[in-house]
Amino acid sequence: MMANGGLSARVSMPIGQQALLAASIMSDDNAEQPPESKKSPSSIKQDWGSSLQKTRKALFNKNEFDIFCDKEIGETFIFHTAELGCTIDHLEYNPEDQRVTVFTNDGQQLDLGTRIQWLIRPYFAKPQIILMVRTQNGRAIEGFEVRLKVRETAEKTVN
């Protein structure tokens, strides 16, 4: 673990350097994991969109992006390989169905392309700035910040 001095140095890095650091952390994590069983219906990869299906067109296919949350510096990254066909205004997380709606500058509403899994839901439970980073051959080539809003849920009452 880094001392607070090292942590504040990472926070002040430009987006490109933060993305490279996060990408290297992600690639190291993936190297340590055992190969995924394609027959296991309970694997996270197969569960990405299995329940609470989306009703909107997806921005990404499940193999075109990955979400990485760095709990030490409190930042969330969405790494994607596909070019965006739109300009993103903001994202909105709905805790009821665990999906993210992408709001574009031209008024479209798209689904991000996956349900947010339980491991990273706490990171999506609060409004924040998310770093969207386009990658090519495992390297960050461009990125930008986008605001994440959290949809208010209706309180459930017991009668």
* Residues 9-18 pLDDT 10s: 334 455 655 5
Per-residue pLDDT tens digits for 93-129: 999 999 999 999 999 999 998 899 999 999 888 899 9
pTM: 0.64
For residue 158, being part of any structural domain is answered with no
For residue 38, being part of any structural domain is answered with no
Q: What is the dihedral of CA 26, 31, 35, 36, to 10 degrees?
A: 0
Q: Which two tokens mark 50?
A: 């299995």
CB 107 within 8 A of CB 89: no
Per-residue pLDDT tens digits for 42-95: 444 444 444 445 567 888 887 889 999 988 888 999 999 988 888 999 999 999
Q: Which pLDDT belongs to residue 15?
A: 60
> 137 is in which domain, residue-wise?
4-32+44-150
Domain tally, the chain: 1
